[in-house]
């Protein structure tokens, strides 16, 4: 061993110690090695490294090679338009699910099926991912995600981890906060952040007082838009209670302004509370209007509080609204006020009935720091609020905050701890925090800036998703996770809730397409390799079985529109093939037992090799054939 090798070895050993739990360090052998290494390694020169503490509850943030994580993390991908799946606590990225984006690896956005779902768009902006619920906890069926850019809601089927539906939301721009009902897979609520003329066809453009925004309910089972409620203000984040009585939307622009100064003018904006039973009754009774070309029933609830909508005053330009795991409190983060406002959901009925004022539903308003945005929970009565301007997470106790609000003279301090995060945190979430099963193990801080935390990679830096251990009395930062821009939000789900299939089920909706074509052409998808011509449209059916395609060549004519339909006969876990045609922008994935297809024009005569782009076999490179385009 050279001196250098030894150094690397020692560093490695130290790193291990650094990442291993105190419980393991405590055992004699590892402990001895660690101690020895401590003596022989000189501390690094330069600025002191930020240290990460081992987890207090004895489960380390590192997961050994070959070991599985305890949690699935579902991350939105922001302007990348995708969803990402991470394992926690390791923070290993396991998968990316293309949603609103064009993804070259899988062909998403270019395959026939995905193109149809996306309706010709190639981009989107995913902010909020939430899973479907039953009885207040995740039921392992669907993931929902918004597209802020084009007002859409997409659904991912957890069995296949593939988008199975996309719904366009009428009369909406900037669809931002979304939240599903929690008592069952019922409605998913979607907030329009941007007020627009209703109808937006050229009328009322210069008169923003006429602009309005829609709170939209989409059926989580059918993905149909059920109804909309039109309000005068904008709507930012969304939440639901646990009983199916209410949905919520924060409003930061009650002023109805179109510029920054105007939007910040009022000291208080509000939380919209939507009374679902009343809205449902109005829709059933036909006491609705329609707006523009849309047939969706709209309840017009602009202006004043009514049986449909109530406005709970909240200081100042509130952003996040998060309901605690008991279902009792909705916590609204002030953003431009250093406070969070705790709304007692049990009081809302009295406020709707006019027995108390809407503001009387606020039962606590602790000062948590400058720029509070979102709140997560540990299931032990504590809340964790992300504080953007201060770059901290503030841990506070809900009961103490209520006590302090009730009896200001007692000088009760509900703030338990603040921890620095790096830097400018946006969303925050904790393991199972958005369910009644919040388990108080891990907290994730989605920091918008990483600054000096990682190697310089040019003008665009990664973001920094930091993992914080909240299992003990004190929060401890245990991991820095660089992410490609720009995840907004994440939910952390225990692994026993998520059961994807390992082989493609051929019964899902998408297969109706392929079965229809196959029937028309008298083809058995899983057996036949056939070219079916219909004028200038040619369908090419191809099978794949490692390491061969079912056919080594097919012929078409220059100018033909070619649809290649590939069915993978392999029935082995993870034995994916793909289909790529040189020079034609055709490249897509076909998983084990899957079928997938893409359509293109074969413009020029010549020989074009097609090949399998997924490394599937020792003879993967030989897995290819010729498309012969005749003049």
**Site residues (CB under 6 A) for ligand RUQ?**
127-128, 176, 319-320, 373-374, 426-427, 488-489
The 3 state secondary structure assigned to 210-259 is HCEEEEEEEECCCCCEEEEEEECCCCCCEEECCCCCEEEEEECCCCCCCC
Tell the smallest beta-carbon distance from residue 541 to ligand CUA (Å): 17
Site for ligand CUA in 500-559 (CB under 6 A): 546
Tell the smallest beta-carbon distance from residue 121 to ligand RUQ (Å): 19
User: What's the start-to-end Cα distance of the chain, in Å?
Assistant: 66
Stretch binding ligand CUA (CB under 6 A), from 41-49, 63-71, 440-448, 613-621? 613-621
249 binds ligand CUA (CB under 6 A): no
Of the candidates 362, 292, 353, the one whose C-alpha atom is nearest the C-alpha of residue 334 is 362
Tell the smallest beta-carbon distance from residue 81 to ligand RUQ (Å): 14
Q: How many residues bind ligand CUA (CB under 6 A)?
A: 8
Query: Do 401 and 414 meet the contact criterion of CB atoms below 8 Å apart?
Result: yes
106 binds ligand CUA (CB under 6 A): no
Beta bridge partners of 491: 74
Chosen from ligand RUQ, ligand CUA, none, partner binding at 620 (C-beta under 5 to 8 Å by type) = ligand CUA
The string over 276-293, giving b where at least 16 C-beta atoms fall within 10 Å of a residue's C-beta and e elsewhere, is bebbeebbeeeebeebee
Tell the smallest beta-carbon distance from residue 623 to ligand CUA (Å): 4
Name the token pair of 458.
């040019």
> Any idea what the Cα angle at residue 175 is, between residues 172 and 177, rounded to 5°?
140
Q: What does 172-222 look like in DSSP terms, one character per residue?
A: -EEEEEEEE-SSSS-EEEEEEEE-B-SS-SSTTTT-GGG-BEEEEEEETTT
Chosen from ligand CUA, ligand RUQ, none, partner binding at 539 (C-beta under 5 to 8 Å by type) = none
Running DSSP on this structure, what letter comes out for residue 361?
G
Tell the smallest beta-carbon distance from residue 261 to ligand RUQ (Å): 21
- Closest CB to ligand CUA among 184 and 620? 620
Tell the smallest beta-carbon distance from residue 610 to ligand CUA (Å): 11
User: Dihedral of the CA atoms 214, 218, 224, 230 (nearest 10)?
Assistant: -20
Site for ligand CUA in 550-609 (CB under 6 A): 577
**Other Cβ atoms within 10 Å of 206 Cβ, number:** 7
- Closest CB to ligand RUQ among 96 and 427? 427
Tell the smallest beta-carbon distance from residue 591 to ligand CUA (Å): 11
Name the token pair of 433.
């925090």
Strand order in the sheet with 129-134: 129-134, 137-147, 152-157, 162-168
Chosen from ligand CUA, ligand RUQ, none, partner binding at 546 (C-beta under 5 to 8 Å by type) = ligand CUA
Tell the smallest beta-carbon distance from residue 489 to ligand RUQ (Å): 5
- Closest CB to ligand RUQ among 319 and 577? 319
Tell the smallest beta-carbon distance from residue 236 to ligand RUQ (Å): 7
**CB-based closest residue to ligand RUQ:** 426
> Distances in Å between the alpha carbon of 588 and those of 114, 488, 597, 610?
11, 28, 8, 12
> Any idea what the Cα angle at residue 162 is, between residues 159 and 164, rounded to 5°?
95
Binds ligand CUA by CB under 6 A, chosen from 616, 625, 627, 629: 616
Tell the smallest beta-carbon distance from residue 369 to ligand RUQ (Å): 15
- Closest CB to ligand CUA among 309 and 623? 623
- Closest CB to ligand CUA among 142 and 579? 579
Binds ligand CUA by CB under 6 A, chosen from 100, 514, 579, 614: 614
Chosen from ligand CUA, ligand RUQ, none, partner binding at 426 (C-beta under 5 to 8 Å by type) = ligand RUQ
Tell the smallest beta-carbon distance from residue 593 to ligand CUA (Å): 14
Of the candidates 554, 548, 611, 615, the one whose C-alpha atom is nearest the C-alpha of residue 583 is 611
624 binds ligand CUA (CB under 6 A): no
Running DSSP on this structure, what letter comes out for residue 111?
B
> Distances in Å between the alpha carbon of 438 and those of 122, 324, 325, 494, 528?
36, 9, 6, 10, 51
- Closest CB to ligand RUQ among 79 and 290? 79
- Closest CB to ligand RUQ among 271 and 580? 271
Stretch binding ligand CUA (CB under 6 A), from 10-18, 298-306, 554-562, 616-624? 616-624
Chosen from ligand CUA, ligand RUQ, none, partner binding at 117 (C-beta under 5 to 8 Å by type) = none
> Distances in Å between the alpha carbon of 224 and those of 169, 170, 288, 294?
9, 11, 17, 12
Name the token pair of 470.
């909240």
- Closest CB to ligand RUQ among 426 and 578? 426
- Closest CB to ligand CUA among 393 and 616? 616
How would you classify the pairing of strands 560-568 and 537-545? parallel
620 binds ligand CUA (CB under 6 A): yes
> Distances in Å between the alpha carbon of 14 and those of 30, 64, 217?
11, 16, 53
Q: What is the rounded CA–CA span in Å between residue 301 and residue 258?
A: 21
- Closest CB to ligand CUA among 10 and 545? 545
- Closest CB to ligand CUA among 53 and 545? 545
Chosen from ligand RUQ, ligand CUA, none, partner binding at 623 (C-beta under 5 to 8 Å by type) = ligand CUA
Chosen from ligand RUQ, ligand CUA, none, partner binding at 128 (C-beta under 5 to 8 Å by type) = ligand RUQ
Tell the smallest beta-carbon distance from residue 468 to ligand RUQ (Å): 17
Name the token pair of 53.
């503490």
- Closest CB to ligand CUA among 562 and 566? 566
- Closest CB to ligand CUA among 118 and 616? 616
Running DSSP on this structure, what letter comes out for residue 585?
T
612 binds ligand CUA (CB under 6 A): yes
Name the token pair of 104.
């070259």
Tell the smallest beta-carbon distance from residue 588 to ligand CUA (Å): 13
Name the token pair of 139.
């039921």
Q: Which long-range contacts (CB under 8 A, 24 or more apart) does 43-47 make?
A: none
Chosen from ligand CUA, ligand RUQ, none, partner binding at 612 (C-beta under 5 to 8 Å by type) = ligand CUA
Q: What is the rounded CA–CA span in Å between residue 520 and residue 540?
A: 13
Chosen from ligand RUQ, ligand CUA, none, partner binding at 489 (C-beta under 5 to 8 Å by type) = ligand RUQ
How would you classify the pairing of strands 225-231 and 298-300? parallel
Residues within the interface to ligand CUA (CB under 6 A): 546, 577, 612, 614-616, 620, 623
């Amino acid at each position: 061993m050279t001196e250098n090798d030894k150094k690397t070895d020692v560093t490695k050993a130290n790193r291990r110690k650094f990442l291993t739990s105190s419980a393991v360090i405590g055992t004699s052998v590892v402990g001895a090695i660690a101690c020895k290494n401590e003596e022989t390694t000189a501390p690094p020169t330069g600025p002191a490294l930020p240290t990460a503490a081992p987890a207090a509850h004895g489960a380390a943030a590192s997961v050994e090679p070959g070991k599985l994580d305890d949690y699935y993390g579902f991350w939105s991908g922001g302007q990348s338009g995708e969803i990402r799946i991470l394992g926690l606590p390791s923070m290993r990225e396991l998968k990316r699910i293309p949603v609103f984006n064009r993804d070259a690896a899988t062909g998403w956005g270019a395959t026939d099926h995905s193109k149809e779902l996306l309706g010709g768009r190639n981009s989107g902006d995913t902010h909020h991912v939430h899973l479907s619920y039953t009885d207040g906890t995740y039921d392992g069926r669907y993931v929902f995600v918004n597209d802020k850019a084009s007002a859409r809601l997409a659904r991912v089927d957890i069995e296949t981890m593939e988008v199975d539906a996309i719904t366009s939301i009428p009369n909406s721009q900037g669809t931002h906060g979304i939240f599903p009902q929690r008592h069952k897979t019922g409605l998913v609520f979607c907030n329009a952040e941007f007020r627009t003329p209703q109808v937006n066809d050229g009328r009322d453009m210069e008169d923003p007082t006429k602009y309005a925004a829609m709170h939209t309910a989409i059926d989580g089972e059918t993905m149909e838009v059920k109804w909309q409620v039109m309000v005068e203000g904008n709507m930012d984040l969304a939440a639901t209670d646990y009983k199916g009585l209410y949905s919520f939307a924060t409003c930061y622009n009650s002023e109805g302004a179109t510029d920054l100064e105007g939007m910040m003018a009022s000291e208080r904006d509000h939380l919209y509370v939507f009374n679902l039973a009343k809205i449902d009754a109005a829709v059933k009774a036909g006491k609705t209007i329609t707006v523009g070309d849309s047939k969706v029933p709209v309840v017009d609830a602009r202006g004043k509080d009514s049986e449909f909508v109530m406005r709970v005053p909240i200081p100042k330009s509130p952003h996040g609204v998060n309901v605690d795991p008991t279902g009792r409190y909705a916590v609204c983060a002030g953003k431009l006020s250093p406070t969070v406002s705790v709304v007692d959901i049990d009081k809302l009925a009295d406020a709707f009935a006019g027995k108390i004022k809407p503001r009387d539903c606020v039962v606590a308003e602790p000062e948590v720091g400058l720029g509070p945005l979102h709140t997560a929970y540990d299931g032990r009565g504590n809340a964790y609020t992300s504080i953007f301007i201060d770059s901290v997470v503030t841990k506070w106790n809900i009961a103490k905050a209520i006590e302090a609000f009730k009896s200001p003279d007692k000088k009760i301090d509900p703030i338990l701890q603040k921890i620095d995060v790096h830097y400018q945190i946006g969303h925050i979430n904790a393991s199972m925090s958005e369910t009644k099963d919040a388990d108080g193990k891990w907290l994730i801080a989605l920091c918008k800036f990483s600054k000096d935390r990682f190697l310089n990679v040019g003008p665009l830096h990664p973001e920094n998703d930091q993992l914080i251990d909240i299992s003990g009395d004190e929060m401890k930062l245990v991991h820095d996770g660089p992410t490609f821009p720009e995840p907004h939000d994440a939910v952390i789900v225990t692994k026993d809730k998520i059961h994807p299939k390992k082989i493609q089920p051929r019964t899902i909706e998408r297969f109706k397409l392929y079965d229809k074509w196959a029937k028309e052409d008298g083809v058995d998808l899983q057996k036949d390799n056939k070219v079916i011509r219909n004028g200038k449209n040619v369908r090419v059916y191809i099978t794949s079985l490692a390491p061969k395609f079912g056919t080594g060549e097919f012929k078409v004519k220059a100018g033909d529109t070619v649809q290649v339909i590939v069915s993978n006969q392999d029935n082995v876990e993870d034995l994916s093939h793909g289909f790529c045609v040189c020079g034609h922008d055709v490249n897509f994935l076909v998983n084990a037992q899957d079928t997938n297809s893409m359509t293109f024009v074969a413009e020029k005569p010549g020989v074009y090799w097609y090949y399998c782009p997924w490394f599937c076999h020792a003879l993967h490179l030989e897995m290819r054939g010729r498309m012969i385009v005749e003049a």
